[in-house]
Amino acid sequence: MTAHPPFPDINSLWQETAGARPIFGGLSGDHRYDVAIIGGGYTGLSTARYLARRGLSAVVLEASRIGWGASGRNGGVVSGKFRVAFSEIAGRFDIDTARRMHDLGIEAIDHVGELVEDYGITSADYRSTGSLRCAHNAVSLESLKKEVDWLHQALGDRACSILSAQEMETETGSRDFVGGMLNTHGGIIHPLNFVLGIAAGLKAAGIAVFESAPVISLRREGSGVLLETPDGTITARQAVIATNSYSDLTAATAAVRNTIIPFRSAMIATEPLSGKAGSTLLAHDRSYTETRRMMRWFRKAGDRLLYGGRGAFGKKDSASAFAALHKAMVRQFPELGQTAVTHRWSGLVAMTMDSIPHVGRLDERVVYAVGYNGTGVALASSMGKHVAAIVTGESPNLGLLTSERLKAVPFYPIREPAVRLVAGWYQFLDAIGR
């Protein structure tokens, strides 16, 4: 367990460039709603939106401020992919499951555009510029080629194409890549303004949201549930756990905590770029990821370049993890050698045993949606649609996202050294070019 929430906002580029914040009070006294939602990130807010559409009264309880968790500090890459390739899903399960997962990803991307439009979130600066996977060696490029062929033939997805090394240099401004895969689905967004905009939309619709309201206990009471916060309680018919990688802040969400391995992801932002670097690096404003296992990713935010990857192991940031990111960035973009880094921050992503997010019921009174494995901007912000269906007794076809597949992490108490071990192995494989 970490120190007690609420916690102050982190010092990120997104905080510095955040638009107006909707103001929410704290919870005091005893209240009753149909559904109480724990967590004020994309998942929790999206759930409140769709429960309200079904005529249910919902309340969102956020331990700190809206967007304090991953939703306010992520890279803002809008993607519909999962950590497991669709071709692998088809191989391990069947083609219908792969197709359903692919559809869920595309629906989630489209949903980002709908939310932005519906709530008028212009400050989120959503750009549907697509993504580029950057092959670091010939073996990776070969597997990207196979993936593109498979997507064309098996799923009829023509949004992906292969780029040559020269096209990659024009696209990225870096000579580091032997080729790449362009995917025109998805794009980039200001993640904090996105979550704040959704919260503002809920507020305008009269949906209850409380900040500085850590749920310290969740228990059965009568025919429903009772949620306690330091200054007030909520009685509800059902509860939804939407705390993802921050499920260990209090004991209230202990039931999902041991299904998640929190993994620190970090990023750095440069000062605004000018001159040749400003005009040639990442000129098409897409999101960019490397094919290495210990994946690094990058994008522009205005005139700045953001560079992200694995953060420090353990509970806190370390200067050496940020220095490693800086070194990797300069190796890829040598012209940034003298460019100042102005912001450094990190957050936790929630890995699951099968690398797939899961949504479902813990029991007849508690529903959860967790485990986005570092790709939750689109999926978590549309997840409320599925959660609301489950809360109201439906069983939507969610492919592999179903609860039956959510597994507890074995040897949970030693998860941190285990993560270190796996990361070390991945780094070794990357280093030897496998």
Ligand X SMILES: Cc1cc2nc3c(=O)[nH]c(=O)nc-3n(C[C@H](O)[C@H](O)[C@H](O)COP(=O)(O)OP(=O)(O)OC[C@H]3O[C@@H](n4cnc5c(N)ncnc54)[C@H](O)[C@@H]3O)c2cc1C
Which residues are near ligand X by CB under 6 A? 38-44, 61-64, 68-71, 73-77, 79, 214-215, 242-246, 249-250, 252-253, 265, 346-349, 372, 374-377, 380
DSSP E strands, 242-313: 261-270, 287-290, 297-301, 304-310
User: Are the C-beta atoms of 344 and 317 separated by less than 8 Å?
Assistant: yes
The least distance separating ligand X from the CB of residue 13, rounded to whole angstroms, comes to 12
For ligand X, the closer CB: 168 or 325: 325
What is the C-alpha to C-alpha distance for residues 56 and 34, in angstroms, rounded to an integer? 6
Nearer to ligand X, 72 or 224 (CB): 72
C-beta of 113 vs 280, nearer to ligand X: 113
Question: What is the smallest separation between the CB atom of 95 and ligand X, expressed in angstroms?
Answer: 25
| Closest distance of CB 68 from ligand X, Å | 4
Q: Kindly tell me which of 141 and 238 has the beta carbon lying closer to ligand X.
A: 238
Paired residues of 341 in beta bridges: 270
Closest distance between ligand X and the C-beta of residue 359, in Å?
10
Supply 167's token pair.
């096209």
Distance in Å, CB of 396 to ligand X, minimum: 18
Alpha helices, DSSP H only, in 173-227? 191-204
Residue nearest ligand X by beta-carbon distance: 376
**Which of 63, 356 has the CB closer to ligand X?**
63
> Locate tokens 């649609």: which residue?
385
Q: How far is the CB of 40 from ligand X (least distance, A)?
A: 5
- Contact 227/19 with Cβ under 8 angstroms? no
By C-beta, is 224 or 376 nearer to ligand X? 376
Q: How many helices (H) and strands (E) does the chain have?
A: 12, 18
CA distance 398 to 360: 10
Taking CA atoms, 173 is separated from 46, 130, 280, in Å, by: 37, 17, 6
